Copies of this chain bind each other. A is one copy, B any other.
Amino acid sequence: MYDMTIQLRTDAGKRLYEQIYEHIRQEIREGKLLAGERLPSTRYLAEYLQVSRSTVDCAYDQLLSEGYIEARPYRGYFVCSLEDMLDIRMEESGSVPASPRQGDEEGALREEGKAQENCSRDAEEGLWQSVCGRKGRADCLYDFSPNGIDMSAFPFGVWKRITRDILNDANGELLSQGEPQGDYDLRLTISRYLHSSRGVNCSPEQILVGAGNDYLLMLLEKLLGKGKRIVMENPTYKRAYRIFHSFDYEIVTVDTDAGGMLVSGLQETRADAVYVMPSHQFPTGAVMPIGRRTELLRWANQVPDRYVIEDDYDSEFRYRGKPIPSLQASDQGGRVIYIGTFSKAIAPAIRVSYMVLPQELLERYLRCCFFYSCTVSRIDQRILNEFIGRGYFERHLNKMRKRYHAKHDLLLECLKPFETAFSLSGEDAGLHILLRARGNATEEELLGAAAKRGVKVYGLSESLVKTPGSEHGTVLLGFGALNEREIEAGAALLQEAWL
């Protein structure tokens, strides 16, 4: 076992667990810790470093989440195999965003895939609605929608004050059309936020501001071109699936497991692009480990004009450890298109999303799509920019993270009686968790029994592109829009229904 000498500093502005996590990560990256090597037990390391055991637990959890280490039952923690790793760097928060040129050199490895997977396009007609509040609740007592978010804490007062200030200072310029990519000030603010919170390396010039992810994907279609073949995770975010389907893109799916997309399945797809949610897969909640991320980026670099669309839709809400770094942070070849939104973190009504283009696509945008005018009003852009710039966004995020954390913990507590009959996954992040029947109960049976008691839960199959026909029904329980009383009451009814 390797000698763990870590210089812990209490004045470093970093918490102890972060220092431990970063030290071990660094050792792994530099090859000082080799694949297969066993880490000291948490108890041993805690004693050695004179810190609490939970501090070491936190550090190991983070390394686990990001795929640097793995836990083997009864044996301990071992370093994962990363021999194919690209030079993964997570920029330190607070430093200057990199110039867009940085990602310009691409490994132009060409390799043609071998097989061609045909995709079964399901022609679902059913309405898959984002249910927040009223609509969903009207026909049931408790709606565990995975898309529900808590809007009771929206800072109306602040929003109103900022709006008033902006309209007071306004002149004709504010009413004019503005830059197609979005106001520079807002893009600068977003680039700084993404850098410090998600490790995204970009300049404001690379950012497109748009009214929702759907619109940004439509714009992306103009950049990628027609008739492309795109890989999606199965299950995946069905709205995105429908959008790519409406582009007439050929959609190929690759299955997922606890580490997200089974990236090894990409080779034979010969696809032009892949749509992934590596930091928090919807709906499984999986975090893609570092090894797969590396493999994914390598695949993207194999042929020119192949891209990874990273949808980082709710990375703000993580209740354990540090946020998982974005895939874009590791992208050296300019292959990652990063998409994010303020819909979850503030409110869907805000209608502001952003897309970070790698250099090549940015040039294509400036050449071919410069004339599409920005879909977000300048007044709204200015309000959002002030909201972030004056520190309200961070405060709001912290508040929401606490609220959601409390609801998350409460729901887990309420679900304890379910543990013998169900396995639980997707916890520790996001706004929903998954329950999978250990027995033969089908999804339909579970949904039906819940509905009879006035509880709406959501089936995993709604997110499936290809149905694998699992006999174990799996349901999603979203907790964002419910308050504590509703979570308890809803869970009690589910207990009646299922146990």
Instruction: List the interface of chain A (C-beta within 8 A of B).
Output: 125, 127-128, 130, 132-134, 151-152, 154, 156, 159-160, 163-164, 167-168, 170-178, 211-212, 214-215, 218, 222, 226, 239, 242-243, 246, 248, 343, 347-351, 367-380
Contacts and interface: CB of A to CB of B under 8 A. Distances in A.
Nearest to A346: B175
Contacts of A175: 151, 154, 347-350
A148 to B, nearest CB: 9
Contact of A214 (B130, B156, B372): B372
A394 B87 CA distance: 61
Contacts of A367: 125
Contact of A130 (B163, B177, B239): B177
A174 B350 CA distance: 10
Contacts of A369: 246
B380 A172 contact: no
A175 B351 CA distance: 10
B151 A156 contact: no
Contact of A156 (B167, B351, B371, B372): B167
Given A372-B214, A377-B349, A151 B130 contact: no
A216 to B, nearest CB: 10
B214 A373 contact: yes
A301 to B, nearest CB: 28
Stoichiometry, as copies per complex, reads: 2
Given A172-B133, A175-B349, A349-B177, A373 B125 contact: no
A375 B127 contact: no
Contacts of A376: 211, 351
B211 A178 contact: no
B167 A163 contact: yes
Contacts of A173: 133-134
Contacts of A125: 367
Contact of A371 (B167, B168, B177, B239): B239
Contacts of A218: 215, 218
29 contacts: A127-B370, A128-B371, A130-B373, A132-B176, A132-B177, A133-B176, A134-B173, A151-B175, A156-B168, A160-B168, A163-B167, A175-B347, A175-B348, A175-B350, A178-B349, A211-B211, A211-B215, A212-B373, A214-B372, A214-B373, A218-B218, A226-B226, A243-B371, A246-B368, A246-B369, A348-B373, A350-B377, A351-B374, A375-B375
A377 B380 contact: yes
Given A214-B373, A349-B378, A152 B172 contact: yes
A176 B211 contact: no
A456 to B, nearest CB: 16
Interface centre among A159, A163, A215 (most CB of B within 10 A): A215
B177 A215 contact: no
Contact of A242 (B128, B156, B371): B371
Given A130-B373, A133-B172, A133-B173, 7 more contacts: A132-B172, A163-B164, A164-B164, A211-B375, A226-B226, A239-B373, A380-B380
Contact of A351 (B163, B212, B243, B375): B375
> Which 7 residue pairs of A and B lie closest in terms of their CB atoms, listed nearest first?
A151-B172, A211-B375, A175-B347, A132-B176, A177-B348, A351-B377, A175-B349
Contact of A215 (B151, B174, B215): B215
